Amino acid sequence: MGKCCVFAGQGAQVPGMGRDFAEADAEAMEFFDKANAVLGFDLKKTCFEGPAEELTKSNVCQPAIFVTSYAAYTAFLKKTGASFDCAAGLSLGEWGALCAAGVLDFDSTLKVLEARGRFMQEACEAAPSGMIAIVGATPAQLDELCTKTGCTVANVNSAAQQVLSGSKDAIASAAAVAKELGIRRAIPLATAGAFHSPFMQPAREKLAPVLDGVTFAAPKFPVLSNVTGKPHSSDPGEIKAMMLEQVTGTTNWAADVAAAKELGCTTFVEFGPGKVLSGLIAKIDASLVTANVADLASLAAAAERV
């Protein structure tokens, strides 16, 4: 009965995250102190106290969720002595999965995510755009919706839920067209812009030289790619290429879960604030065991469950 560790994505952030891990364990506190030193601003204070508006900035949010998730992951390993058979993460969470598998170190992951978040925010500000969640569309309806509006598929969360990216006008049109097509629900999302779409091409181009300056290694255990829905190659160069592709490409979370099942995983432990991924996994396959580790209380419950 294999286990997969999964790492939260952007949008899960909440003021106060990581604080009880840090106050309970010196190593966890060291992660936040190191983040402050590496990044040159007080990430720890923003995580522990907010304000929420600061925490939602992409260049703050992305490293903040990573540090909190990694602290949760480390606390779980200490408490349980468990090991994992594979790892995955949603968007920025894939970087946490790569770090957990030893592909790049903690400091490098922080630097990458601060830059990634900053470049993505700049791309959002340069071209007004947005995202919309589509629930209950058939493949044919989804194709027609994209054709009629010019939106592209940003996330495949499950067979029943996808997220589209597009210009502000395209997103507004998508809500109306979805209703015309008889799609059950279309929910505009409060995001800074059209992530995982061609709108992020400037961010992808700026991120390339940052990754060139980071040392990647072969993963110690399989890490699932958002782009391919399959385990990453053991070739560090190919991993870098896929992580650049991830900035503009579709994030296929449903395929990652399916691939983890093919690797024999029946238990998924989510690390980081919230439990969005646990909820999506349960919708994909209700037979899978899920647990989340967001704070000390959920750590204790997860240790008992898995």
Which residues are identified as catalytic?
91, 196
Q: How far apart are CA 283 and CA 265, in angstroms?
A: 16
Q: Which tokens belong to 57?
A: 């900035």
Q: How far apart are CA 287 and CA 110, in angstroms?
A: 35
H, E, C per residue of 167-192: EHHHHHHHHHHHHHCCCCEEEEECCC
Rounded to a whole number of angstroms, the distance between the first and last alpha carbons of the chain is 10
Please list, in sequence order, all residues whose beta carbon lies within 8 angstroms of the beta carbon of residue 281, skipping any fewer than 6 positions away. 6, 257, 268, 270, 288, 290
**Residue 276, phi then psi, degrees to nearest 5:** -60, -45
- Per-residue burial over 60-99, b if 16 or more Cβ lie within 10 Å, else e, is bbbbbbbbbbbbbbbbbeeeeeeebbbbbbbbbbbbbbbb
Please list, in sequence order, all residues whose beta carbon lies within 8 angstroms of the beta carbon of residue 206, skipping any fewer than 6 positions away. 115, 119, 122
